């Protein structure tokens, strides 16, 4: 048997590990990692696109918005002071009346009978007075006669005392009869006034804006309390807006301030007004609920003479404060940031047990509140060499578009006005920015312009 020859080693295929460890692959991998890092770093340090405009001086007028209703300046609710059935009602809703015109007449029979009864009582009291005066004359004569006899000791003291008592009683009866006559006369006067109250005339020139009763209905009323509301008489030549203002803004409103009014019934028109009255007591709505609110009524005299009707909805723009030639920025430019370094944790100093106990007792005795964290400050972002620069500012008044800036900026600087996310979140002091040009957005449904 021939001897076995050794089998030569076959070349083995290269493994992935070996291939990966080859110098060309390592160079390619390192280059890819460097490129990825460079791209990632570029994205991280990419500039934020913003909109900006130069800071300018403007005139600002601060406005307080309020809503309410149009109401007449003079409005009279007609209610009777006597009870009875309506026999005449010669007016209708919307009718104009003059002062003194008949509005309502109530049945008079009962009150005429009351006048006759009071007059009869007066005559009876007058007759009683005549009787009392006659008795007084008789008692006076007898008293004088017996006085002379008593002085001559011709009558006893007891008899003299009886005549004197009768004389005094007669005089008292005359006084009582006189008072009864006064009472009867007052009763007649009251009965006559009640009779006159059955007829109600217009107290002012105006228009019947509301009519609640009809002929034949019974109404009630007394001189001590308001009776049935029969109608409302309003002077529509002088109108005012009664609006409700929140407790934060009411301190800025004073009588005499100018106002612009928008009435829903008159579209595309604004009316002039002047504040005439500011309520000194609040009206609370929804007490005890989440919708609870505190409002103050403000009355505004409307200077324009248009056919307003009571109850029309109105929106008022009250001019409270005015500034001339002041530095301004758009409202959306002002945001808040925490003070620099406020995010760093505060490491309290270590105290001994005795010092900690003394500190707790001091806080309890002095009623000190626990230390609060840093409060955000109001800032704007300025553009300086393509960098955002954070500038703390102090605000003044504002209108619908701009804030007055009292401190922190100068005229001509570029201030960031958009976008919202950049101002509210992304921008920080020193970040790179690029100013975006505002171009008209493309509308898919718009027709292309013809050449």
What's the pLDDT at 226?
Answer: 78
Note the maximum CA span of the chain.
206
pLDDT digits (tens, 9 = 90+) for 229-266: 999 999 999 999 999 999 999 999 999 999 999 999 89
What's the pLDDT at 340?
Answer: 72
pLDDT at 297 > cutoff 60: yes
Domain boundaries, the chain: 81-104+201-229, 108-197
Confidence class for position 14, pLDDT limits 50, 70, 90 = very low
Top pLDDT among 346 and 153 is at: 153
pLDDT at 219 > cutoff 80: yes
Structure tokens at 257: 């301030």
Top pLDDT among 3 and 331 is at: 331
What's the pLDDT at 152?
Answer: 84
Confidence class for position 43, pLDDT limits 50, 70, 90 = very low
What's the pLDDT at 362?
Answer: 52
Burial of 25 (0-12, 13-18, 19+ CB in 10 A): exposed
Top pLDDT among 238 and 25 is at: 238
Rounded to whole angstroms, the Cα distance separating 442 from 419 reads 19
Confidence class for position 138, pLDDT limits 50, 70, 90 = very high
Structure tokens at 418: 């958009």
Report the pLDDT averaged over residues 149-163.
87
Out of 44-48, 304-308, 422-426, 445-449, pick the least confident. Answer: 445-449
Q: Are strands 271-278 and 258-263 parallel, antiparallel or unpaired?
A: antiparallel
Out of 115-129, 159-173, 382-396, 425-439, pick the least confident. Answer: 425-439
pLDDT at 191 > cutoff 80: yes
Structure tokens at 180: 């009864």
Structure tokens at 342: 């406020």
Would you call the peptide bond into 69 cis, given omega within 30 degrees of 0 as the criterion?
A: no
Listed in sequence order, the residues at least 6 apart from 438 whose beta carbon sits closer than 8 Å to its beta carbon are 51
Mean of all residue pLDDT scores within the chain: 82
Confidence class for position 92, pLDDT limits 50, 70, 90 = very high
> Do residues 435 and 381 make contact, with C-beta atoms less than 8 angstroms apart?
no
Entry field: residues in the chain: 451
pLDDT digits (tens, 9 = 90+) for 319-363: 999 999 999 999 999 999 988 755 544 444 455 565 565 555 555
């Amino acid at each position: 048997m021939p001897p076995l020859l050794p089998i030569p080693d076959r070349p083995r295929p290269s493994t992935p590990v070996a291939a990966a460890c080859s110098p060309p692959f390592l160079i390619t991998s390192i280059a890819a990692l460097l490129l990825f890092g460079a791209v990632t770093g570029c994205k991280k340090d990419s500039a934020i696109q913003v909109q900006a405009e130069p800071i300018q001086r403007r005139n600002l007028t601060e406005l307080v918005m309020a809503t309410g209703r149009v109401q007449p300046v003079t409005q009279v609710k007609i209610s009777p002071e006597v009870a009875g059935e309506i026999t005449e009602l010669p007016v209708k809703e919307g009718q104009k009346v003059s002062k003194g015109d008949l509005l309502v007449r109530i049945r008079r029979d009962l009150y005429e009978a009351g006048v006759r009864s009071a007059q009869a009582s007066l005559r009876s009291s007058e007759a009683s007075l005549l009787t009392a005066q006659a008795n007084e004359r008789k008692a006076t004569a007898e008293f004088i006669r017996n006085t002379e006899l008593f002085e001559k000791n011709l009558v006893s003291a007891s008899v003299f005392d009886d005549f004197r008592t009768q004389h005094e009683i007669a005089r008292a009866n005359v006084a009582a009869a006189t008072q009864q006559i006064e009472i009867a006369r007052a009763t007649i006067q009251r009965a006559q006034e009640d009779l006159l109250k059955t007829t109600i005339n217009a107290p002012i020139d105006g228009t019947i804006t509301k009519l609640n009763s009809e002929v034949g209905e019974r109404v009630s009323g007394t001189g001590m309390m308001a009776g049935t509301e029969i109608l409302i008489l309003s002077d529509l030549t002088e109108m005012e807006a009664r609006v409700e203002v929140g407790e934060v803004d009411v301190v800025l409103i004073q009588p005499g301030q100018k106002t612009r009014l928008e009435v829903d019934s008159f579209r595309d028109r604004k009316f002039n007004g002047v504040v005439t009255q500011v309520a000194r007591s609040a009206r609370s709505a929804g007490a005890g609920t989440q919708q609870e609110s505190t409002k103050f009524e403000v009355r505004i005299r409307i200077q324009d003479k248009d056919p307003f009707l009571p109850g029309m909805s109105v929106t008022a723009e009250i001019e409270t404060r005015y500034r001339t030639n002041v530095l301004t920025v758009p409202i959306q430019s002002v945001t808040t940031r925490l003070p620099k370094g406020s995010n760093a944790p505060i490491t309290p100093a270590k105290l001994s047990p005795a010092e900690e106990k003394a500190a707790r007792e001091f806080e309890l005795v002095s009623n000190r509140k626990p230390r609060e964290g840093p409060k955000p400050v109001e800032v704007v972002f300025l553009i300086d060499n393509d960098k955002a620069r954070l500038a703390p500012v102090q605000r003044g008044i504002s209108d619908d578009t701009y804030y007055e800036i009292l401190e922190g900026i100068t005229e001509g600087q570029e201030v960031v006005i958009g976008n919202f996310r950049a101002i509210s979140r992304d921008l920080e002091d020193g970040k790179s920015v690029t100013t975006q040009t505002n171009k008209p957005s493309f509308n898919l449904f718009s027709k292309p312009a013809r050449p």
